[in-house]
Structure 1
Amino acid sequence: MIELPEGLEDFVARAGWSDAAIEPIPGDASFRRYFRLRRNSGETAMLMHAPPPEEDPKPFLKVASWLTQHGMRAPAILAEDAGQGWILTEDFGNDRMRDWLDDHPEGEQAAYEQAIDALVALHDLPPGPFPAYDLPVYLRETGLLTEWYAPAAGLEVDTDGYDAAWQTALAPLIARQGDGVTVLRDYHAENIMLLGSPFDHAPQGLIDFQDALAGHRAYDLVSLLQDARRDVSEKLEAAMLERYLDKAGGNADFLADYALLGAQRNAKIVGIFTRLYKRDGKPRYLAMIPRVWHAMERDLKHPALEPVAKWFASNIPEDLREKGGGTIA
């Protein structure tokens, strides 16, 4: 029998769902837990428990409200008690884009086209009232690689040189970023819900956006097209990047920024996935590191990444890089 969090039944009763059955849903890499409420009538809702102090549900509520007000498809908020970490939302169902594509590979092009078009719509909006995705944030994230991956791989690396290389490489991007756009930060096939078939142009729902910042419009493109959890072919990546550029515009500088943020995000993810294993005892993320590493190696070939590429060449042995990051102890 699964133990329910304290206060769940009281919150559900206050929200008017005391007659609903409670079905736990497997979680991912955080302290958040999810439950589906199901009434005999067939009506459902999604219950999220994001308990303080480990989690803070207020950013989710803020971003969801902003997205909805600006025509984006975030789940409607049915009830909330942010102080206790409870949020009851509209239920988007079970069809995550990734899962749907596992069963319908012929729909890949259509699904990704819609995901690109949603980004174009988001980037047509002024940036939301969110913190800036600025250089200190970028550097804090890239630092996860030297903080977690390097020692786990048994490497002693030049951390000062690493930070300096990233500062040099990212400086032109920061200058071009300006006020930016709303960056959801985890926009990929596991966080896009299909509310119908992409062949019918059904809308796609957004989830897991509570960490949104105001940053560069290439970031969520990288998140989608260099997916850490799903293989996206280079051919599809190129086609979807071209679709975005046709609709939203972009030049050689934008392509440089795409490569920069690809390497930045992938370096961060290598560090995060290592941390999930070493600190949190979640080894399943190790199997994803080679995919992320190989994408990062492609990004590092862009001339805009020259100082960072030189650091990798000097600090990460070639045999580890060829193995997609090598073995982590």
Structure 2
Amino acid sequence: MAHGSLERFLPDDAATARLGEDLALALRPGDVLALSGDLGAGKTALGRALIRVNAGAPDLEVPSPTFTLVQTYDGRVPVVHFDLYRLGSPSELDELGLDEALAEGAAVIEWPDRAGDRLPAESVSVALSHEGEGRLAVISGTGPAFDRVVRSLAIRDFLGQAGAGEAKRVPFPGDASARAYETIHAENQPPRVLMNSPRLVLGPPVKDGKPYAIIAHTAQTVAAFVAMARAIRERGIAAPEVLASDLDRGFLLLEHLGEGAVLDATGRPIAERYAAASELLATLHGDPWPEKLEVASGIFHNVPPFDHDALMIEVELLLDWYVPWKTGGPADASLRTRFADAWNEVFDRLDRTERGIVLRDYHSPNIIWRAGRSGSDRLGILDFQDAMIGPSAYDIASLAMDARVTISEEIERSTVAAYVAARHAKGGFDEQNFREAYAITAVQRNTKILGIFVRLDKRDGKPAYLRHLSRIRAYLRRALVHPALAPVAALYEEHGLLSEDE
């Protein structure tokens, strides 16, 4: 395994604190940061900055653990701060609980040489030394932790090129994707958003020799976001302006649209704001949407189709993840065949529906309420890089059956009614066709989500998503009453897939 290293000159304490911030944002459970250097070289100052950023507490008291040897801190990642200067022998690390610390969080270790060969092979080393009026940090390591550190420092360089090299970086709470976001605070500048979106790792072939992401048409680079943001803004709708970009690395510096929500303080949907969000979709629908969008001069993004293969690979997540979790055993060949037959019959009906832009994740986390503004400008939209050309009804189903929010039948009806009224006002709207497509896409989306949320638990260690399953099943029962879904409804009923008995 290759070993890498890089250097950072730290001219003052503020630069040391920024390095601590950059290291903190790369930290994950299981990581070890080994801080070495002579007395006074800045090890404790760097560790203190890292711990404060990780805890989200700039004034947190972080004493040197020289005498206690160990100090524990809560935060985005639990951190245990070790000072091994007074360690008698490497074997004493067992008594200090290093293994237990790494099982739950990360470790920051000063005087790592006292540990002998007891530290993990993939520890990240930060060697500090005096250089002129400042310090030199040599960062080295191997493996995923070092790769994350390298990427975090590359973000700092990107911000520097955008005139925000001394900005404060504050991470967003994590979501279900590989992308990460930060709020960027620079002096005398409004807040901005940093999107960190590495090139998509396609994974192994899952069907017909193709990876899942290829079949589902998942965006592979940030170019898709840049193109969609430009196209949405050209239609008079608030999407983030792209202020700086590195398409190769997957870094974007974006306009911050605000923090207003379509939910109230208790997390409940505000009916009027959901209606406004559905009316916004009506402004996007009914007009032609090009399949080729400009990213930059001479660079284009082709908006993929939401075709049968993409629709099917998504619903099959139910078979791959939810069915084994729900029934205690894998989906057998008979169920898979009948499942495909039922869904293909339903998907054939979508071929007759109106097609337009499908933003794909048009729901409460990605809709910003902009108080004090009027018309379409009251709302800002995010997270549209996976957009496709498909059934226009899909995004209404995503909104009116919000996966993370309990939407009552009354608010669902009023949300859909606002969209229908807006489309009728534009003319040429086939409401009956829309109602059928709405039901089909609602069931398709919620079927997929059942599979995704179980996968997030079983594969990714994120059990919190399981709390949403009862809501998703209720949405499915609600939508499956439409006659167009009869084949799927019968199959789900036969196998008890929507019961609440677990």
TM over 0.5: yes
1:232 aligns with 2:404: no
Q: Pick closer, same or farther for the CA change 1:269–1:197 going to 2, 3 Å.
A: farther
Deviations 1:110-150 (A, max 9, x none): 21121011101011431242111111111111111011111
Which residue of the other structure, out of 98, 102, 111, is the alignment partner of 2:265?
Answer: 102
1:66 aligns with 2:231: yes
1:19 aligns with 2:148: no
Which residue of the other structure, out of 152, 165, 169, is the alignment partner of 2:342?
Answer: 165
Provide the secondary structure at the position in 2 that maps to 1:175: coil
Q: Pick closer, same or farther for the CA change 1:305–1:273 going to 2, 3 Å.
A: same
Deviations 1:198-235 (A, max 9, x none): 89985211101110001111100000001110011101
Q: Which residue of the partner structure matches residue 46 of structure 1?
A: 193
TM-score (norm 1): 0.90
Q: Which residue of the partner structure matches residue 277 of structure 2?
A: 115
- Does the aligned pair in 1 maintain the 2:305–2:389 contact within 8 Å? yes
1:91 aligns with 2:271: no
Tell me the distance in 2 between the aligned counterparts of 1:310 and 1:22. 51
Higher helix proportion (structure 1 or 2): 1
Post-superposition shift, 1:252?
A: 2.3
Q: Which residue of the partner structure matches residue 498 of structure 2?
A: 321
Tell me the distance in 2 between the aligned counterparts of 1:19 and 1:238. 49
Post-superposition shift, 1:104?
A: 8.8
Name the aligned partner's letter for residue 88 of structure 1.
Answer: L
Q: Which residue of the partner structure matches residue 285 of structure 1?
A: 465
Which residue of the other structure, out of 309, 312, 316, is the alignment partner of 1:136?
Answer: 309
Moved more, 60-69 or 289-298: 60-69
Q: Pick closer, same or farther for the CA change 1:242–1:134 going to 2, 3 Å.
A: same
Post-superposition shift, 1:109?
A: 2.5
Provide the secondary structure at the position in 1 that maps to 2:498: helix
How large is the RMSD of aligned CA atoms in angstroms?
A: 2.0
- Does the aligned pair in 1 maintain the 2:238–2:377 contact within 8 Å? no
Tell me the distance in 1 between the aligned counterparts of 2:434 and 2:444. 15
- Does the aligned pair in 2 maintain the 1:134–1:174 contact within 8 Å? no
Tell me the distance in 2 between the aligned counterparts of 1:201 and 1:88. 24
Q: Pick closer, same or farther for the CA change 1:42–1:274 going to 2, 3 Å.
A: same
Gaps of 5+ in 2: 1-19, 27-151, 202-219, 292-302, 424-428
Tell me the distance in 2 between the aligned counterparts of 1:175 and 1:109. 31
Q: Which residue of the partner structure matches residue 241 of structure 1?
A: 416
Q: Which residue of the partner structure matches residue 250 of structure 1?
A: 430
Tell me the distance in 2 between the aligned counterparts of 1:221 and 1:233. 15
Tell me the distance in 1 between the aligned counterparts of 2:310 and 2:25. 37
- Does the aligned pair in 1 maintain the 2:271–2:414 contact within 8 Å? no
Tell me the distance in 2 between the aligned counterparts of 1:213 and 1:50. 19
Tell me the distance in 2 between the aligned counterparts of 1:149 and 1:103. 29
Which residue of the other structure, out of 464, 468, 489, is the alignment partner of 1:309?
Answer: 489
Q: Which residue of the partner structure matches residue 25 of structure 2?
A: 3
- Does the aligned pair in 2 maintain the 1:260–1:305 contact within 8 Å? yes
- Does the aligned pair in 2 maintain the 1:149–1:271 contact within 8 Å? yes
Deviations 1:257-305 (A, max 9, x none): 1111111111000011111111111111100011011111111111111
Higher strand proportion (structure 1 or 2): 2
Provide the secondary structure at the position in 2 that maps to 1:37: strand
Q: Pick closer, same or farther for the CA change 1:104–1:161 going to 2, 3 Å.
A: closer
Name the aligned partner's letter for residue 247 of structure 1.
Answer: A
- Does the aligned pair in 1 maintain the 2:237–2:376 contact within 8 Å? no
1:195 aligns with 2:370: yes
Name the aligned partner's letter for residue 182 of structure 2.
Answer: F
Moved more, 265-274 or 60-69: 60-69
Q: Which residue of the partner structure matches residue 36 of structure 1?
A: 183
Q: How many residues align?
A: 317
Tell me the distance in 1 between the aligned counterparts of 2:343 and 2:160. 51
Q: Pick closer, same or farther for the CA change 1:102–1:197 going to 2, 3 Å.
A: farther
Query: Between Structure 1 and Structure 2, whose CA radius of gyration is higher?
Result: 2
Moved more, 251-260 or 160-169: 251-260
Provide the secondary structure at the position in 1 that maps to 2:166: coil
- Does the aligned pair in 1 maintain the 2:262–2:270 contact within 8 Å? no
Moved more, 149-158 or 261-270: 149-158
Q: Pick closer, same or farther for the CA change 1:204–1:48 going to 2, 3 Å.
A: same
Tell me the distance in 2 between the aligned counterparts of 1:197 and 1:305. 42
Post-superposition shift, 1:6?
A: 3.1
Provide the secondary structure at the position in 1 that maps to 2:248: helix
Runs of 4+ in 1 over 4 A off after TM superposition: 197-202
Post-superposition shift, 1:85?
A: 1.2
Gaps of 5+ in 1: none
TM-score (norm 2): 0.60
Post-superposition shift, 1:44?
A: 1.5
- Does the aligned pair in 2 maintain the 1:111–1:198 contact within 8 Å? no
Post-superposition shift, 1:236?
A: 1.2
Moved more, 150-159 or 298-307: 150-159
Moved more, 148-157 or 116-125: 148-157
Q: Percent identity?
A: 33
